Chain A
């Protein structure tokens, strides 16, 4: 066992993960790249060469050379409407392929069907986030190898650095042509950006695109060009549109959350970053959407414009673009119908890859240009360390998403969260799991006011200078912890076994924390 820089005890070797010596988290920007990128197998198609289109998923699996023990990847832009992951794994099972490592950018509730394949040994390892029933299964010790969690930027980094080699990437493609050019913008299963799939297409030894909208060569508005695509399969439907995009994303109507959103936007407005040309990310949650609405009012009052909005893009951001409050949108995932329509029709709405979005080991990902980001948390501790992975009972139920990357990249990182969720406090002495270290978290905003990390005296000064008085209270962290404890009462400790079921990597590939098996989960 050795302590890392956030005081977590990490074993020197983790079964199913490997040695951790030299891979302990040492600080947000401590580990720098060395050596060369690891690439895909060289391959070619001759003029007049073979057709890329194959009859079905099984034919594509056979043609890809996929064998037991290999690693397959998926992207999650079809979200809870996705049919492709389950179809591919069903086909693998029927073909007798076993012991696969699954490397998804994320899994959703719809993928609970994979539990059968985990139980039967078709899937032996998951490198990626787990939630819902699969998260419960993993938390209770239902998988032999630990799940490895990486951020949106940490994942492409791991591929380029050779930590993960993708044997076959399966890419759900809302539109494709016979040359293998694919786009997420059009078709009955349109999802907008397919930015998470770019790195997989470029670095996998074989790439299979699965589409339900095959068009004549060439399509326009290509997301990923056919130079990276080995095979194309046309099927009836790659997903359920109702699960792919939500109709509209809504601002919260909860007065408590609206107050938190107001406080958070006031904090941003008080900072030196809120000036003409700033860039920000707010995400799709109830509070962040309300913050976006407040920021718009703030921009109006100051007569300033933002240069870009980043991340998962919603209709709210699209409105800001149309109304001229934001110059560009950088979109790695389009959350709703308005965002999908916008990226298909507006050149200022730019599709970006996860690499471009968030990878710490390239020459400047978009998160580095962020002035402010609003994020959530399940827990924040006295040191401003944030947990987004495990719930109050210790169950691993959430991925990292872009949390680590945006927190590290942004000049002002704000966690906006009610102090209590039910009886469970979101501010604690020590978080159960460290996802993002306090060294890159600048402030916490709750219904009790604004709490600024003491290492950001500059922000504290700027906030006090804004003289909001009682309209936006300033609350020191110690006071917040006491208040949370008084309201929630004493908590019993989480009971875990020694067995590690999850490894949380910092975006640079070091181990920031491990997640241990819990007893049988009490709640559903």
Chain B
């Protein structure tokens, strides 16, 4: 896990990560976006759970009032509850509130 989100002139740069690629987990990477919120999903859940996963990610980002970010998820079969927690942790790290 790494995080180097830093604030430069009010604009967030760098990336932050949370999670693993162990079975039933996912690796969430958050980076800056200048074109609105973007979500990319790959891996085990992508074929059948893409929509459910997007719903969950949007729900967490909205709840945290996250800025426009790019979220990419490398999934290895994470349940919604795991995905939500990983996104929340990655956002916190991206905003500088979490530990690296």
Residues on A close to B: CB < 8 A? Answer: 392-394, 420-424, 487-492, 494, 521-523
Contact = CB atoms under 8 A, between A and B. Distances in A.
B42 A522 contact: yes
B46 interface: yes
A393 B79 contact: no
A432 to B, nearest CB: 10
Contact of B48 (A420, A491, A521): A491
Contacts of B45: 422-424
B44 interface: yes
Contacts of A522: 42, 46-47
B74 to A, nearest CB: 10
Interface stretch (B2-10, B49-57, B60-68): B49-57
Contact of B49 (A421, A489, A494, A521): A489
B80 A489 contact: yes
B24 A494 contact: no
25 contacts: A392-B48, A393-B48, A422-B24, A422-B44, A422-B76, A423-B44, A423-B75, A423-B77, A424-B45, A424-B77, A488-B49, A489-B49, A489-B52, A490-B51, A491-B49, A491-B52, A492-B47, A492-B48, A492-B52, A494-B47, A494-B48, A522-B47, A523-B42, A523-B44, A523-B46
A421 B42 contact: no
B30 interface: no
Given A423-B45, A491-B48, 18 more contacts: A421-B77, A422-B23, A422-B45, A422-B78, A423-B24, A423-B77, A423-B79, A424-B44, A487-B79, A488-B79, A489-B52, A489-B79, A490-B52, A492-B49, A522-B46, A523-B43, A523-B44, A523-B47
A203 to B, nearest CB: 40
Interface in B1-40: 23-24
Contacts of A488: 49, 79
A193 B24 CA distance: 38
Nearest to A254: B23
A392 to B, nearest CB: 5
Nearest to B24: A422
Interface of B: 23-24, 42-52, 75-80
Sorted nearest first, the 3 A-B pairs with minimum C-beta distance are A422-B77, A393-B47, A491-B48
Contacts of A494: 47-48
A522 B42 CA distance: 7
A419 to B, nearest CB: 12
Main secondary structure of the interface of B (DSSP, over half): mixed
A424 B48 contact: yes
Nearest to B42: A522
Contacts of A424: 44-45, 48, 77
Nearest to A522: B46
Nearest to A518: B47
Contacts of A491: 48-49, 52
B63 to A, nearest CB: 18
A488 B40 CA distance: 20
Given A522-B42, A522-B46, A523-B44, A423 B78 contact: yes
A255 to B, nearest CB: 14
Contacts of B46: 522-523
Nearest to A487: B79
A103 B15 CA distance: 52
Nearest to A393: B47
Contacts of B80: 489
Contacts of B51: 490, 492
Question: Residue among B24, B49, B52, B75 with the most chain A CB within 10 A?
Answer: B49
Contacts of B48: 392-393, 424, 491-492, 494
Contacts of A489: 49, 52, 79-80
Contacts of A487: 79
Nearest to B77: A422
Contacts of B49: 423, 488-489, 491-492
Contacts of B44: 422-424, 523
A81 B47 CA distance: 32
A492 B23 CA distance: 21
Contacts of B43: 523
A392 B23 CA distance: 16
Nearest to B50: A492
Nearest to B82: A423
Nearest to A394: B47
Contacts of B76: 422
A340 B46 CA distance: 42
A492 B46 CA distance: 10
Contacts of B52: 489-492
B6 to A, nearest CB: 33
Contacts of B78: 422-423
B57 to A, nearest CB: 13
B81 to A, nearest CB: 9
A416 B93 CA distance: 41
A421 B50 CA distance: 16
Nearest to A521: B47
A510 B49 CA distance: 34
B99 to A, nearest CB: 28
Contacts of A492: 47-52
B87 to A, nearest CB: 15
A127 to B, nearest CB: 28
Contacts of A420: 24, 77
